Structure 1
Amino acid sequence: MEIGFGIWYTAALLLIMSILLFMEVLEIEVVIFSTLLLLITGKVITLKEAFVGFSNEGMLTIALMYVVVGAFSNTGMLNQVTHVIFGKKNTGDSRKLLRLLFPVSFVSAFINNTPVVAMFIPVIRSWAEKHHYASSKYLIPLSYAAILGGTCTLIGTSTNLIVHGLMIDSGMKGISFFEISKVGVPLALLGILFISLLGHRLLPNRKDPLVELGEHTREFVIELKVTPEYENIGKTIESAGLRHLQGLFLFQIERRGQIIAPAEPNERILLGDRLFFTGIPKMILELQKLPGLQLIQDSHFDLKQYDSAVINTFEAVVSPGSPLVGKTVRESDFRAKYEAVIIAIHRHGERIQKKIGDISLWPGDTLLLLAGKNFRKRWYHSNDFYLIAEAETLPSKPQWRGYLSLGVFFLTILLTILEVLPLLSAAGLGVIILMATRTVRMAEARKAIDWRALIIIAMSLGVAAAIKESGLAELLASGIAGIGCHFGVIGVLTSIYIMTSFYTLFITNNAAAAMLFPIAISSASTIHADTRAFAFVVLFAASASFATPISYQTNLMVYGPGGYRFKDYLKIGVPLQCLIGIITMVLVYYFYF
């Protein structure tokens, strides 16, 4: 094969791109976009080919699934089962990972791994933030478990379906539903054990920034009443999990008119107790949504089930000339006048120890409020408040919207599994239902989509097209397959696996499978080996891609939320990829040769 300018030029750009990504000199999307522009300039690909990824069905499906899954996760329903998934707080990382990764892997065997990962990302981040854990210890394992689960059945991942179609096009029998399970299930089991017991130690310990309470922290005070629905009645503060809350501190209990302060860890929580917490706004909002802890009876909206698309969180500072000054919250009739509910109050340099309704308001007091979206517009120019600003909002939905979003999610998956609709159409239908019922608003839909991940995926498809169009793919693959011929069937199998794995480091697994499939089949025919075995080697090598963030879409999805760097994937991904490669070779050789 003649090596022309296009091959040399593409190879040089690919090498430079890889070095820049590894060194993290520039943002990943800037590097890939610059590479695309240079490929267009060198006339390796056309402008249309470079950006064909933006109309790719897989990328559009991912965007729609972000909205579908985002609607479900925003209701907070998943957060209610985190204690079942992760177990007790004092268990080790290995046990927590085992409890998380096995269910994720099982679900991914029957559902495309993209929505599975999208569903669990916000749950893991919220759980890690609440308990002061590093989400970076869990998000890459989440992606890897979904990838491993996808190798267990025909519908586990789109790569399996692509190879299935290519086999049929080549005159071979397609893959039956559980045919690859005899290799995929052992891979998933051993891969998860490696990640849970050893691999997680190679991951960084990066915690999401959360304000620690201290002398310089702007603390708000909230008062909550214990009702019969609270599950920890009769337990001590320590055993109820209220002692070491991140960003919150239980400093006082009022019981039948008597003040218990400080609230000791062994103090029991009784029905009717009023609990006084001090903390930061985000954690206060999350705390007041706990079942059985009642803030206040309110006529405007249910504080446990308000819709965060309609009701916002605000911070309002009481001005010196405000009619609120000198009045208690109860006397001011705050809810009726302002159509807002005071969640908590901050007074600089003082920890307020009265009931919210009995607190006399002073100039400079900062009120944490729940109110309609037009609250700031209505009162911004009023003398009642010195300053009004939107605070951090905790996603919230009424319970019935939670059940609806859950139903839409399973409807989307069911329509796909039963082949009633392709995933893109099913996800589109789901989004239409959610938007029509106003379970998801347009602003929420835009916010739910990880635009950065989608852009990187789309541009990566452009780079894959250049590798194929330039002839570089054919040259490299045929060369490595030729070297493997000197070592018999296991040598050729290993060469195909290595080449496919190499491709998935820098281009999509689907593109790698499509480009390597014909080479694998012709290599098998040359040495008179079982072509089916070679097809499966391509399938597993393309699917089991762990070593870079751009090699698999779920790796990209956790890249930003986990605060990862390119080298973090190499540290855990390379050993895992080598382990999975060795196991695959052993199992394929055992079952087919």
Structure 2
Amino acid sequence: MTLSQLWVIGLFLVTLSALIFSNKRPSAIFSGLLILLLVTNTLSFADVSHHLTNNGLITLVLLLMVSAAVDKTSVIKRLARRLVVKGYKTSFWRLFSLTYSASALLNNTAVVATLIGPVKQNQHHAPSRLLIPLSYAAIFGGTLTLIGTSTNLIVDSFLIEHGHTGFNFWDFTLFGLIAGLASAVILFIFSSRLPDLQTTEKTYKDYFIETKVEADSELIGKSVEQNHLRNLPELFLAEIIRKGRLITPVSPDLVIEQGDCLIFTGNMQKVDSLQHIDGLKLFAEHSGLLNQNLTEVVISNRSRVIGKTLKEVGFRALFDAAVVAVRRDGEAVSGKLGEIKLRAGDFLVLATGPDFESRHNISKNFFIVSEHNYQQKLSLTQEYLTLGGFMLAVTIAAFSSVNLAVSLVVLMGLLTFAGICNGNELKRALPINLIVVIVGALSLATALEQSGVINLITDAVYPSLSQLSPFWVLVIVYLFTLLLTEMVTNNAAAALAFPFAWGICQSFNLPVLPFALAVAFAASASFISPFGYQTNLLVFSATNYKFKHFLQIGIPVSICYSVVILLLLKWQFNLA
């Protein structure tokens, strides 16, 4: 074994150890790896930069950037409020169906992030009884298509890098559909093991947010419960003001009427979810100032607004700003937003006009704390254009020879031209960390191959593996990847396992596609650990789950999923 080979093996082991045992983000670990590969001349800069133009990587980046626009649409948000009902069985399967189908085309992490809030806010079941099924449903759905999860696209990028044509759009569907549905049945059967836990304490301060029911509102004539106003993410309907009369507490049976002022308290970051309720307008919307950027301020002790209401002080004209929400530490706020007497130390979230920053009276009255990004509601035309355009782009790529990346570039241009997204939003959606992970992993794979380490390892295992049938070799590759994904992350597991799977296929003259699929499915099959997949980590952080809760429900799901996938691969590719 040469010094060069020892060095590359050492880099691989250090990278793997850092992913398992350190608290560093995978992007930081792979950044360090890239630096070491370059400064030691293990790889040239041309080798590394070449991976940036990988078609699979470019497709993944474009898909995530377009997803930023798709996330603005209200379809999933509106359905989310209606998912959870009194019956657990009905709630389970409704939640599963929406998550599973949406994750096949949309980023499954984003789908889970959207649905966590309504699940946590539901009035019928402990969130801990539904959050693990939510995460698993997203994982199942992500394996249905090429674009359902970044893991599939990462393996696709490796295939293309090695001269293979890559996956077709539907290569995953048969396996993912059967394994996902079978595992969902197992998940439901074992759902009695899911714990009944209290949610974690909120980490935000309650803001007081006023909305008004317009004449064309979908809420009118239906009760609070029928409108699912108790299921809004991190927002609580505290009061209703009707014809000058304050109604509190609000009964679930209370019927909403035109002109009602609905007063919510909760997380200001979730206020955009109110925008997706037709005919419900925020207090600041009537001023025409509500835009993407909201400014949080504190009223100074020298402010002229102290002791006065927003109406009395003429707030809109005085500051070129409208109040979206107010928070007062140590005391609950009640009544109409425009009639609250302001105090020094009150926190206000402002929708600001073009002259706000140039007004000389701002610093005399407020301390600026921070800015919030506010996601404005799309018009009906923009909604249709976004969803229709995305579905058309995916359909064209799935059923024709047009590259998915080309379809996504055209769609991104169309969305930008229509004002649905802008340059700043696209820059924020650029997945820099994921790009670093993929380029680092591709570079490590290149180093392992160029140095001869892959050949060295395959030669060492050849005598043992040659005694096995191709199917059992496939099982070993799958289990190796599955072990990695439970210890590191799904994307890192796929990136680290693929070079060895490729080397085994070359040494044993086996077809590449079933082994590539095995790596992709195994890397996504993180059901036992809360840390192996982003959706698991999201729900783990959303309530007081323990590691054992994932073990109890995840082991039978993982066994079922893995057995079905492996048997289907054996049947589909005639592996003995």
Report TM bin, short chain: 0.7 to 0.9
Matches within 5 A, 1:38-117: 38-40=36-38, 43-50=41-48, 52-83=50-81, 86-88=83-85, 91=88, 95=93, 98-104=96-102, 107=104, 115-117=106-108
Q: Does residue 379 of structure 1 match 2:359?
A: yes
Supply the AA of the counterpart residue of 1:432. Answer: G
C-alpha deviation, 1:4, in angstroms:
3.0
> Relative to 1, partners in 2 of residues 1:199 and 1:163: Cα closer, same or farther, differing over 3 Å?
farther
Residue 537 of structure 1 corresponds to: 514
Please, which of 380, 396, 401 is the counterpart of residue 382 of structure 2?
Answer: 401
What is the distance in 2 between the residues matched to 1:180 and 1:342?
Answer: 49
Matches within 5 A, 1:547-586: 579-586=560-567
Please, which of 508, 512, 518 is the counterpart of residue 523 of structure 1?
Answer: 508
Supply the AA of the counterpart residue of 2:523. Answer: F
What is the distance in 2 between the residues matched to 1:198 and 1:557?
Answer: 23
Residue 528 of structure 1 corresponds to: none
Question: Which stretch shows the higher mean deviation, 280-289 or 11-20?
Answer: 280-289
What is the distance in 2 between the residues matched to 1:298 and 1:44?
Answer: 58
The TM-score, its normalising length taken from structure 2, stands at 0.76
Asked if structure 2 preserves the Cα contact closer than 8 Å seen for 1:76 and 1:395, the reply is no
What is the distance in 2 between the residues matched to 1:578 and 1:585?
Answer: 11
Asked if structure 2 preserves the Cα contact closer than 8 Å seen for 1:69 and 1:118, the reply is no
Q: Give the alignment's Cα RMSD to 1 decimal.
A: 4.8
Matches within 5 A, 1:242-261: 242=229, 247-261=234-248
C-alpha deviation, 1:473, in angstroms:
1.7
Figure out how many residues of one structure are paired with residues of the other and give that number. Answer: 552
> Relative to 1, partners in 2 of residues 1:569 and 1:175: Cα closer, same or farther, differing over 3 Å?
farther
Residue 315 of structure 1 corresponds to: 297
Residue 4 of structure 1 corresponds to: 2
Please, which of 172, 175, 190 is the counterpart of residue 182 of structure 2?
Answer: 190
C-alpha deviation, 1:73, in angstroms:
0.8
What is the distance in 2 between the residues matched to 1:361 and 1:181?
Answer: 58
> Relative to 1, partners in 2 of residues 1:83 and 1:350: Cα closer, same or farther, differing over 3 Å?
closer
* Residues 169-211 of structure 1: CA deviation (Å, up to 9, x unaligned): 9xxxx99997886655433433444566559979999978734
> Relative to 1, partners in 2 of residues 1:384 and 1:536: Cα closer, same or farther, differing over 3 Å?
closer
* Residues 250-300 of structure 1: CA deviation (Å, up to 9, x unaligned): 444433444444445554444443334444433455446533434459664
Residue 148 of structure 1 corresponds to: 143
Asked if structure 2 preserves the Cα contact closer than 8 Å seen for 1:468 and 1:515, the reply is no
What is the distance in 2 between the residues matched to 1:585 and 1:175?
Answer: 18
* Residues 495-524 of structure 1: CA deviation (Å, up to 9, x unaligned): 565577789878674896676457437636
Please, which of 32, 35, 41 is the counterpart of residue 34 of structure 1?
Answer: 32
* Residues 511-549 of structure 1: CA deviation (Å, up to 9, x unaligned): 96676457437636xxxxxx6xx4453133122133799
Supply the AA of the counterpart residue of 2:143. Answer: L
> Relative to 1, partners in 2 of residues 1:207 and 1:21: Cα closer, same or farther, differing over 3 Å?
farther
Matches within 5 A, 1:338-417: 338-347=319-328, 350-372=331-353, 375=356, 377-379=357-359, 381-382=361-362, 385-399=365-379, 400-417=381-398
Q: Does residue 428 of structure 1 match 2:419?
A: no
Residue 452 of structure 2 corresponds to: 471
C-alpha deviation, 1:465, in angstroms:
1.3
Please, which of 277, 280, 287 is the counterpart of residue 293 of structure 1?
Answer: 280
**Structure 2: any 5+ residue segments left out of the alignment?**
none
What is the distance in 1 between the residues matched to 2:207 and 2:514?
Answer: 58
Supply the AA of the counterpart residue of 1:398. Answer: L
What is the distance in 2 between the residues matched to 1:411 and 1:357?
Answer: 46
* Residues 380-410 of structure 1: CA deviation (Å, up to 9, x unaligned): 6546623234443331243143333323323
What is the distance in 2 between the residues matched to 1:488 and 1:351?
Answer: 70
What SS does the aligned partner of 2:372 have? coil
Residue 527 of structure 1 corresponds to: none
Asked if structure 1 preserves the Cα contact closer than 8 Å seen for 2:291 and 2:376, the reply is yes
Asked if structure 2 preserves the Cα contact closer than 8 Å seen for 1:510 and 1:542, the reply is no
Asked if structure 2 preserves the Cα contact closer than 8 Å seen for 1:484 and 1:494, the reply is no
Asked if structure 1 preserves the Cα contact closer than 8 Å seen for 2:59 and 2:404, the reply is yes
Please, which of 87, 90, 111 is the counterpart of residue 120 of structure 1?
Answer: 111
Please, which of 251, 264, 275 is the counterpart of residue 262 of structure 2?
Answer: 275
> Relative to 1, partners in 2 of residues 1:266 and 1:192: Cα closer, same or farther, differing over 3 Å?
closer
**Structure 1: any 5+ residue segments left out of the alignment?**
109-114, 525-530
* Residues 217-264 of structure 1: CA deviation (Å, up to 9, x unaligned): 5x5434433345444545554565445866544444433444444445
Residue 112 of structure 1 corresponds to: none
The TM-score, its normalising length taken from structure 1, stands at 0.74
C-alpha deviation, 1:466, in angstroms:
1.5
C-alpha deviation, 1:467, in angstroms:
1.7
Supply the AA of the counterpart residue of 1:225. Answer: K
> Relative to 1, partners in 2 of residues 1:497 and 1:188: Cα closer, same or farther, differing over 3 Å?
same
C-alpha deviation, 1:70, in angstroms:
0.1
Supply the AA of the counterpart residue of 1:520. Answer: C
C-alpha deviation, 1:51, in angstroms:
5.0
What SS does the aligned partner of 1:291 have? coil
What is the distance in 2 between the residues matched to 1:426 and 1:152?
Answer: 13
What SS does the aligned partner of 1:344 have? strand
What is the distance in 1 between the residues matched to 2:137 and 2:120?
Answer: 17
Asked if structure 2 preserves the Cα contact closer than 8 Å seen for 1:249 and 1:277, the reply is yes
- Structure showing greater Rg: 1
Supply the AA of the counterpart residue of 1:450. Answer: P
What is the distance in 2 between the residues matched to 1:394 and 1:379?
Answer: 22
